[in-house]
Structure 1
Amino acid sequence: MVKTYNVAIMGATGAVGQQMKEQLEKRDFPIKDIVFLSSSRSAGKEIEFKGKTFTVQEAKPESFKGIDIALFSAGGSISEEFAPEAVKRGAIVIDNTSAFRMDKDVPLVVPEVKQKRSGSSQRIIANPNCSTIQMVCALQPLKEQFGMTKVVVSTYQAVSGAGIGAINELKAQAADFDNAKDAQAEMLPVKSAKNHYPIAFNVIPQIDQFADNGYTLEEMKMINETKKIMHDDSLAVAATCVRLPVVTGHSESVYVELSRAATIAQVKQAIKDAPGVELMDDPSNQIYPMPLMAAGLDEVFVGRIRQDLDNPNGFHLWIVADNLVKGAALNSVQIAEALIEENVI
């Protein structure tokens, strides 16, 4: 008999929370009972799951009584408040915020990169940043086969990474431009920031707040998380993160320097064989990944693979994935599946 589990989704009405629900349903996760949680503002809304209607409940510490697995995606402050409460009541928390990612005692997991969870007693597991997840999925097979010394990434990130409000604002601004109106900007680059800029027909070279070193917090997430996930503090990583007027799907231009020589054919084969990654690289027929075609799909797509013209150990890659699927919800559910497979829960 298949064991089933009580599951909670914290932030159930948000863009990622909705995708978590869809992934649990799509993958037929072994659920005994499910609870949808949110702030008081969204409590009372109804959610359909496997043919049944559920009412979203306001999250309280006692909401996690009897829960085996809690998927969190409601903001860092919410995770900091409620994740320990869920753990106290026996749940394992898989957190999609940045609240615990760089905690040395909290595993930061991409199942394709790190199959075994370090420290089976740890009850909080961090889901990495969306842009980091897709990049390390593509880079890990290269690191394993050839070694890696340097990564330089420029991201082209969809507005859905900033939430449903940013999606709505992009659509409204596009309509305003068509009607020759002034576009109203209240969400981007950061809702709490002093200045806001329109994203429709624009590119914003800021995601999250700026740190004192001139990098944004999003860029520092990619730098620090990549080193932690790949277990390599000596790996040189640099990032520039940019927001584009795309609804769903992050794209990345990545330059890597390998420790050992490799051919284009070897690099392509390593990526082709990697779990969760699909090679899409036929420039003669204009075949390469794009966010529009990747939307709603599970895989990380890689194309435009070129050897650097000045460094034989350097390679350029173009990496695309749905930031709400593999970049968030799917990775969280895959972590839960791995915990079951490892008999942790």
Structure 2
Amino acid sequence: MGYRMAVVGATGAVGREILKTLAERTFPVDRMVALASGRSAGQQVSFGDDQVLTVQSLDSFDFKGTDLALFSPGAAISAVHAPRAAAAGCVVIDNTSQFRMDPDVPLVVPEVNPQALARFKKRRIIANPNCSTIQMVVALKPLHDLARVKRVVVSTYQAVSGAGREAMDELWSQTRGVYVNETPPSEQFTKQIAFNCIPHIDNFLGDGSTREEKKMAEETRKILGPDIAVMATCVRVPVFIGHAEAVHVEFEEPITEQQAWEALREAPGVIVLDRREDGGYATPAEIAGEDSVYVSRLRRDLTVPHGLAFWCVCDNLRKGAALNAVQIAEELVAQGLLAA
């Protein structure tokens, strides 16, 4: 028995990855519809090895009779169309920032808080966290279960694919242009991204932080616990795919490196690649296309009581977006919460 499904934002990088991931994981689909803006209607996208979908206009699509829709069209579009889909009886998994902090919408990472799905029926909308939050909480969860996280200081090194296909094109064109002394102007970023790092993702807020940094703090607290303090600095780097994070954690209770290693090795969705030698760690270039969060450079942080530090990397289009959404759908099925 399969489900009648729609992918919203199907022509974008995440939307295409959602279609690819659903097919790879053989999610039970009876009917799949690809939706996007009116200007994208008529384009074609692949679903699996042998199915090509013609993109339909989101504005005119009737969600009645659709069991499940995975949204990744941008927050403003989700704000209009996700409630419309839910009102038609469709369950929505939304990958934008629109509903993440809504108290009536569960914010879910299946390896971390699958129990939160029980609350989705009030709005029929489930939120997918920010990509940088997802990989951090997947790594933090087994440690939090051991010793309770008190405070997190994190610096992110985020790939341009997190800003969309046009951002990837800008990195490519600027990199090529540097070699012929014809660097194109910056349109997707505030400064040149090629051969550079930009400590600015999303809009600035009054306290000097950015919205991306605020998202990491608020979402971590909603997922793991309301008393956790989070200080984030989010940086865009000239990498196409794969976010990296340097994470410093202060725990409420003692925790040893050995305990942390063992907990991480047993944790779902985590691969520990940590040899204290040249090359004994994971980098974004190596994990593109992978589903897991890779943890390396685990060590004591002697600057705080009960402190640990680690490095983690993750494919931001896979686990950071598409895969997490598909895993939410799988968990709905496993818990008997999605009727076909």
Place the TM-score, normalised by the shorter chain, in its bin.
over 0.9
Corresponding residue for 2:176? 175
**TM-score normalised per structure 2:** 0.96
Question: Given that residues 171 and 193 in structure 2 are in contact (C-alpha distance below 8 angstroms), is that contact kept between their aligned partners in structure 1?
Answer: yes
Give the letter for the 2:221 counterpart. K
1:235-314 correspondence to structure 2 within 5 Å: 235-314=228-307
Give the letter for the 2:98 counterpart. A
The separation in 1 between residues aligned to 2:279 and 2:240, in whole angstroms, is: 23
1:52-201 correspondence to structure 2 within 5 Å: 52-60=51-59, 62-116=61-115, 117-122=117-122, 123-188=124-189, 196-201=190-195
The separation in 2 between residues aligned to 1:214 and 1:89, in whole angstroms, is: 41
Give the letter for the 2:282 counterpart. P
Question: Given that residues 154 and 253 in structure 1 are in contact (C-alpha distance below 8 angstroms), is that contact kept between their aligned partners in structure 2?
Answer: yes
Name the CA shift for 1:262/1:65 in 2 (closer, same or farther; >3 Å).
same
Corresponding residue for 2:334? 341
Give the letter for the 2:167 counterpart. A
> Does residue 210 of structure 2 align to residue 212 of structure 1?
no
1:79-127 CA deviation, whole Å, 9 max, x = no partner?
A: 0010011011110000000000000110000000012213252300000
RMSD: 1.1
1:152-207 CA deviation, whole Å, 9 max, x = no partner?
A: 1000000000000000000000011010123321001xxxxxxx311000110000
The separation in 2 between residues aligned to 1:170 and 1:12, in whole angstroms, is: 23
1:195-244 CA deviation, whole Å, 9 max, x = no partner?
A: x31100011000000011111000000000000001x2211111000000
The separation in 2 between residues aligned to 1:134 and 1:35, in whole angstroms, is: 29
CA offset at residue 285 of structure 1?
A: 4.7
CA offset at residue 49 of structure 1?
A: 1.7
> Alignment partner of 1:118: what SS?
helix
Of 24, 35, 38, the residue aligned with 2:36 is 38
> Alignment partner of 1:338: what SS?
helix
CA offset at residue 63 of structure 1?
A: 3.2
1:6-58 CA deviation, whole Å, 9 max, x = no partner?
A: 11000000000010001000000000000000001111111122312210001
> Does residue 4 of structure 2 align to residue 6 of structure 1?
yes
> Alignment partner of 1:271: what SS?
helix
Q: Which moved more, 1:318-327 or 1:110-119?
A: 110-119
> Alignment partner of 1:119: what SS?
helix
Give the letter for the 2:262 counterpart. Q
The separation in 1 between residues aligned to 2:315 and 2:252, in whole angstroms, is: 30
The runs of at least 4 aligned residues of structure 1 exceeding 3 Å deviation read: none
Give the letter for the 1:18 counterpart. R
Question: Given that residues 61 and 86 in structure 1 are in contact (C-alpha distance below 8 angstroms), is that contact kept between their aligned partners in structure 2?
Answer: no
Question: Given that residues 61 and 82 in structure 1 are in contact (C-alpha distance below 8 angstroms), is that contact kept between their aligned partners in structure 2?
Answer: no
The separation in 1 between residues aligned to 2:106 and 2:59, in whole angstroms, is: 25
> Alignment partner of 1:132: what SS?
helix
Give the letter for the 1:145 counterpart. L
Question: Given that residues 36 and 55 in structure 1 are in contact (C-alpha distance below 8 angstroms), is that contact kept between their aligned partners in structure 2?
Answer: yes
The separation in 1 between residues aligned to 2:303 and 2:98, in whole angstroms, is: 40
The separation in 1 between residues aligned to 2:257 and 2:52, in whole angstroms, is: 51
Question: Given that residues 104 and 120 in structure 2 are in contact (C-alpha distance below 8 angstroms), is that contact kept between their aligned partners in structure 1?
Answer: no
Unpaired stretches in structure 1, ≥5 consecutive residues: 189-195
> Alignment partner of 1:150: what SS?
strand
CA offset at residue 146 of structure 1?
A: 1.1
Identical counterparts, % of pairs: 50
> Alignment partner of 2:250: what SS?
strand
> Alignment partner of 1:278: what SS?
strand
Q: Which moved more, 1:170-179 or 1:259-268?
A: 259-268
> Alignment partner of 1:267: what SS?
helix
